[in-house]
Every structure is written in C-alpha cells, then in structure tokens.
C-alpha cells in the first residue's frame, strides 16, 4: 500500500485530507513523495511560523533530545523554567501552566476561571461567556465553548455553563453578563470563524465590563498570538490586557506545546493537585518553545511581519478591485482572510493543483496564515495564481 491508502485504511477518518503525502519541509516550501514542491501559505494552520524545519529550532530540539526528553512534572527542569520566565517577561502574566495543545490550554483556562471563584466559596459563579463563530478546541469542554454548531453535532449532551453572544456586540454582552458569570472567553481575532478581528472599541469595552463586574477576561490567542498579528500577542496591538491568555500552535514551531498564562491573582485558583498534564512542558517541547519565542519576539522580526502583512493585505485588496466575487478582505498582520462567497473550497483546491497551499473556512473565506518569514516575492506569486483563478 502507498502512504495515502495505508493512512485511509488504518487511521480514523476524521480529516478530509488533500491527496498528497509530504516528506520534507524547508522554510516556505514542502516537498511531496513525488518530489513536487509546494509553497505553503498555511504553515500547518499557523503552527510553523518560522518556516518548516527552522535550523535554530531544529538545533535546539536535537541538543535537548540528546540530553533529556521527559521526567514528568513531579520534578523540575531548566527548559520549562526558562520558557515560563520568558513568557512572563514578555507578557502581562505572572505564572504559566504548560499542556500539549491549544485545547489543553483552553481547558486549563476554563478550569482556572471556575476554580478561582469556587476557592472563594462563590459556588454560583461558574458560567463562561464565549462568542458566536468562535473556535476553542475539540475536547468536550472546548467544543462546548466554541460558538459554531457544526463543531458540536453528534456530541450531545454538551457540558453546562456556557453562554454564547454575538461577536463585536457589546450590548449583547452587557445583557448576558450577570453575577453567575466567572469569565468572558474570546479570540482577539477569530480565525476558524472567518478571520474576523475584534473592533478596537469593542475590546476595550469588554475589558471595562469585566473590571466593573469582577469577571475574568480570557484571550484565546492560540492562532492569533506568537507574532501572527504583527505584535508578539494579538491583544498588544489593541492595548487591552486579559487576566488569562492561552497559547499553542506557533509556540513550538511544530513541536506540540500549549500554555496558559495568568496574572498572580487569577493563578490563585490553582494549587498542587488541582490540575496537571503528563506530557505538558517537557524539556523537549519547552526547549523548542524557548528558541521559537526568542526569535519571534525580536522587535525587528515583528516589524517585518507588520510590513509584510500590510503588503499582503494591499495586494488582496487590489485583487478585490478587479474581481466582483470578492466580498471583503480582512485580518491583522499575517492572519488574513478573503471572503469570496460560496465556493472557497474549490478555489483552495485549484491553488493546491498549482502547488500553493491555502485554506478555505466556512466554504466562503480563504484563509492565509503563511510562515512569518514569507517574502513579498512569495506573496506576488500567490496573488498571480489567485488572479488567474478568480
């Protein structure tokens, strides 16, 4: 059996895979089993933000793999301590919990928010407000938090304690925010939901409402964080700070790792035994995360991300002026979306035939999340292909 047949035979059919098997990657490019080279404008869904097999991250992984891979969280390790310190020093947070994925990071945030109040004997304050069209993961709690019905189909009954309100609608949030709510959980830029940025005024009002009611504010930056929107964390571009933030995807540049960051006050909700993860924060994953964070947090690197994101958005907007089926271009930094109405999946498939990897969401929006090392010449090549297909 070839790779495709063997995968379809022995791996659960939970993904609609493209008909190629990739064997190697370097920077912006992936090579399949037939030696064909593809230009990647998806980066493993915003994961390989420094490009595939970045030499400095690869060296950090190799060095750590030859030294120590795992000892469990019953013991201390230096890479975990160093990454936690680096995340704290680059953010609003005071403490970090490590898991293996975005879903685990969001599970930790949900549990911390509820437990923060229940440790203070406020047992009725357990509801969490999230946004319609949001995406927070595929565990039972995080898919319940997700504001898309299609993600929940077939998994009923869902967990109690989640309320969904329209995104960018402050009046709806005011109505729902009562004394049973422990947290508001949201993405500063909705990725899976259609690449929809929060309005700056709305985000500031959400923070104000949370302050007035003593509610914790959780930002899910699993897709939008780690430089993707042109600042190290997306909320830094808004000037609004959460109490809790979740990260994953680009944090390890391909090595599985998730992180939940919290203020010292919010972190009081956890104590020894209240939460854990067997593999979370291993020396291997945190060594990869430490090197990735050092490279992405460089101010010069982030300035170039903003420049390239602006250039990319300008080229997409220029396409919109020539093609009437393009309804909107939106996004921040290098997380961009182009609403083409119905048939976005067909456009993404046609791009794949021309060896460009992009993504379609909701079958109406093309999502672009290239490695942050993308160059304008790569953008120009993709624009030319899109121009021919639209």
Record the pTM: 0.97
Local structure of residue 159 (DSSP, 8 states): P
Q: Tokens at residue 108, please?
A: 């930790």
Binding site members for N(2)-acetyl-L-ornithine: 138, 277
146 pLDDT above the threshold of 90: yes
Q: How far apart are CA 74 and CA 77, in angstroms?
A: 10
State mean pLDDT over 105-111: 98
Q: Which residue has the tokens 């430089």?
A: 227
User: Looking at the chain, which residues constitute the CATH 3.40.640.10 domain(s)?
Assistant: 68-297
Instruction: Please give the annotated binding residues, written as ranges.
Output: 102-103, 135, 138, 220-223, 277-278
Strand ranges of the sheet holding 328-332, from the earlier edge strand across to the other edge:
328-332, 335-339, 365-368, 359-361
Query: Across residues 254-272, what is the average pLDDT?
Result: 97
Which residues are CB-neighbours of 273 under 8 A, at least 6 positions away? none
Q: Which CATH architecture does the domain made up of 3-53+300-388 adopt?
A: Alpha-Beta Complex (3.90)
> Is the per-residue pLDDT at 362 higher than 90?
no
pLDDT tens per residue, range 211-253: 999 999 999 999 999 999 999 999 999 999 999 999 999 999 9
Residue span(s) of the chain under CATH 3.90.1150.10 come to 3-53+300-388
pLDDT(363) > 90: no
Q: In sequence order, which residues have a C-beta less than 8 Å from that of residue 272 and are 6 or more positions away?
A: none
Q: Which two tokens stand for residue 91?
A: 């953010």
CB atoms under 10 Å from CB of 296, counted, come to 22
Condensed to tens digits (0 to 9), the pLDDT of residues 65-75 reads 999 999 999 99
Q: What is the pLDDT of residues 371-381, one digit of tens each?
A: 999 999 999 99
pLDDT digits (tens, 9 = 90+) for 38-74: 999 999 999 999 999 999 999 999 999 999 999 999 9
Helices 55-65, 283-296: axis angle to 10 degrees equals 160
CB distance 155 to 87 below 8 Å: no
For the chain, give the percent of residues with pLDDT over 90: 98
Query: Whole-angstrom Cα distance, residue 40 to residue 374?
Result: 9
pLDDT for 270 beyond 90? yes
Task: Please enumerate, by residue number, every residue annotated as part of a binding site for pyridoxal 5'-phosphate.
Answer: 102-103, 135, 220-223, 278
Q: How far apart are CA 131 and CA 196, in angstroms?
A: 12
Tell whether domain 68-297 is in CATH 3.30.70.20: no
């Amino acid at each position: 059996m070839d790779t495709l047949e063997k995968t379809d035979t022995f791996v659960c059919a939970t993904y609609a895979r493209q008909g190629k098997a990739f064997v190697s990657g370097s920077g912006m490019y992936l090579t399949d089993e037939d030696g064909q080279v593809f230009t990647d404008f998806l980066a493993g869904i915003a994961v390989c933000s420094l490009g595939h097999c970045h030499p400095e991250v690869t060296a950090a992984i190799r060095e750590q793999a030859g030294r120590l891979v795992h000892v469990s969280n019953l013991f201390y390790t230096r890479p975990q301590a160093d990454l936690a310190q680096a995340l704290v020093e680059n953010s609003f947070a005071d403490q970090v919990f490590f898991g293996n994925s975005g879903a685990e990071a969001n599970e930790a945030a949900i549990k911390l928010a509820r437990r923060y109040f229940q440790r203070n004997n406020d047992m009725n304050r357990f509801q969490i407000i999230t946004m319609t069209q949001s995406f927070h993961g595929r565990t039972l709690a995080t898919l319940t938090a997700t504001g898309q019905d299609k993600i929940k189909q077939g998994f009923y009954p869902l967990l109690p304690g989640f309320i969904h309100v329209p995104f960018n609608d402050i009046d709806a949030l005011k109505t729902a925010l009562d004394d049973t709510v422990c947290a508001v959980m949201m993405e500063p830029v909705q990725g899976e939901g259609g690449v929809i940025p929060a309005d700056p005024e709305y985000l500031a009002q959400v923070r104000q409402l949370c302050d007035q009611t003593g509610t914790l504010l959780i930002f899910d930056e699993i897709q939008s964080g780690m430089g993707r929107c042109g600042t190290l964390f997306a909320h830094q571009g808004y000037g609004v700070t959460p109490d809790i933030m979740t990260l994953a995807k680009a944090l390890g540049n391909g090595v599985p790792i998730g992180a939940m960051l919290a203020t010292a006050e919010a972190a009081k909700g956890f104590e020894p035994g209240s939460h854990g993860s067997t593999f979370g924060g291993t020396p291997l994953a945190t060594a990869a995360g430490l090197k990735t964070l050092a490279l992405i947090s460089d101010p010069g690197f982030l300035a170039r991300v903003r420049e390239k994101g602006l250039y990319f958005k300008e080229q997409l907007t220029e396409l919109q002026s020539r093609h009437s089926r393009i309804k909107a271009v939106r996004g921040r930094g290098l997380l961009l979306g182009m609403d083409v109405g119905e048939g976005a999946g067909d456009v993404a498939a046609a791009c794949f035939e021309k060896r460009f990897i992009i993504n379609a969401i909701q079958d109406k929006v093309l999502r672009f999340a290239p490695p942050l090392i993308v160059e304008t010449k790569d953008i120009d090549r993709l624009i030319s292909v899109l121009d021919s297909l639209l």
